[in-house]
Amino acid sequence: MTDVKNGGITDTHQKRYGLKADKNKYQWHTFDQRFDLTKEPNEPHRHGWIVEIDPMDPTSTPKKRTALGRFKHENAAVTLADNGHVVVYLGDDERGEHIYKFVSKNRYNPEDNSSNTDLLEEGTLFVARFDAAEGELKGIGEWLELKQGKNGLTAENGFASDAEVMIYAREAATIVGATTMDRPEWVAVHPDNKAVFCALTNNSNRGMKDNQPIKGPNPRSENKYGQIVRWMPENGDHTSTLFNWDLFLVAGNPTVHSDFYAGSANITDENMFNSPDGLDFDPSGRMWIQTDGKYSNEGDFAGMGNNQMLCADPDTGEVRRFATGPIACEITGLTFSQDQRSMFVGVQHPGEKNEPSHFPAGGNSKPRSTIMVVQREDGGIIGA
């Protein structure tokens, strides 16, 4: 999106969503006026939504689920609460933004699948506030309701309808007092349905701006390495507005630093990494961590090498490196075959910024993004 005609964007909504009046490299507005904000100021409102696709019905029409809010979605982690409500956890992939939760208005009906097709159409969106005593890496939290007329979301504050709350969810989160996070990316729910984890990738702005204090789940200024936060819903109820939280791990480099930038106790010179991004569990409860960070292998990142994938035990905190990617790539995307004997892993943008790479074909081939399948030589379960 661009607004080159006016020479500047003054709308606070547009600024909060990263829209700038410059000639960016895509130049979309020169081919389609919908991308020129001087002509189509509401065009950005069409973007930033979760879209649901029914894989069981190829004739169905994908639907934007606007009740889940408009922001920079990295993923949507769906679970079913014991009382039948569908709960979706969401991260906003931007420095200083927030973690959200959606609770469906209606309940899942296992006897009538047709009644479940629009459970994400209506419900309540919440945003997280993490509280902690000074210096503590654990504490309590509360889900703050994002609804017009509540928690300061009034017409006087710029929210005259629920639609405006959803469209400007970031600003609504600020009004209600949500915690600014270190770039929340993937969220994953443990298979036992008792805990939820979120990868906080990094945040060079932490401590540099007044609205991003160094506290609680975001304990380091100019955070280069990232961390993983975990929360447990009150009484195991995902629809509850209360939770307990802690930091499962704090990434760092113990070969370079001796202070908190070395990372938490479960980070060593054999498993160190930076910028946790992808996050998921296999059916047995092993956590898989994928990184998208600095691969310079020097300075603060000396010894870390390329981006990688690690396996962690959520109970003991043990972390082991599982795979290392090719030069200048991101490891992202993960799924398993039903028998857990085949793992499918995404390798994105190898050879980024013209770094030398011939992945995956070798020789003199150009680097390409790839889906790899990983299997054990003995045919066993991956990660066991």
DSSP per-residue letters across 163-183? HHHHHTHHHHHHHHTPPPEE-
| pTM for this prediction | 0.95
Residues 6 or more apart in contact with residue 102 via CB below 8 angstroms: 67, 68, 69, 87, 88, 90, 120, 123, 124, 125, 126
Residue 5 is predicted with a pLDDT of 43
Question: What percentage of residues in the chain have a pLDDT greater than 90?
Answer: 88
One-letter amino acid at 135 equals: G
pLDDT at residue 8, rounded to an integer: 46
pLDDT, tens digit, for every residue of 99-152?
Answer: 999 999 999 999 999 899 999 999 999 999 999 999 899 999 999 999 999 999
Q: pLDDT (tens digit, 9 = 90+) per residue, 269-305?
A: 999 999 999 999 999 999 999 999 999 999 999 999 9
Q: Quick check: 365 pLDDT over 50?
A: yes
Across the chain, mean pLDDT equals 94
- The b/e string for 309-331 (b: 16+ C-beta within 10 A; e otherwise) is bbbbebeeeebeebbbbbbbbbb
Sequence-separated (6 or more) residues with CB below 8 Å from residue 99: 89, 90, 91, 92, 127, 128, 179, 181, 184, 187, 198
Q: Which two tokens stand for residue 284?
A: 């047995």
Give the whole-angstrom CA distance, residue 73 versus residue 176.
Answer: 20
Domain ranges of the chain: 1-47, 61-327
From the CB of residue 149, how many other CB atoms can be counted at a distance below 10 Å? 13
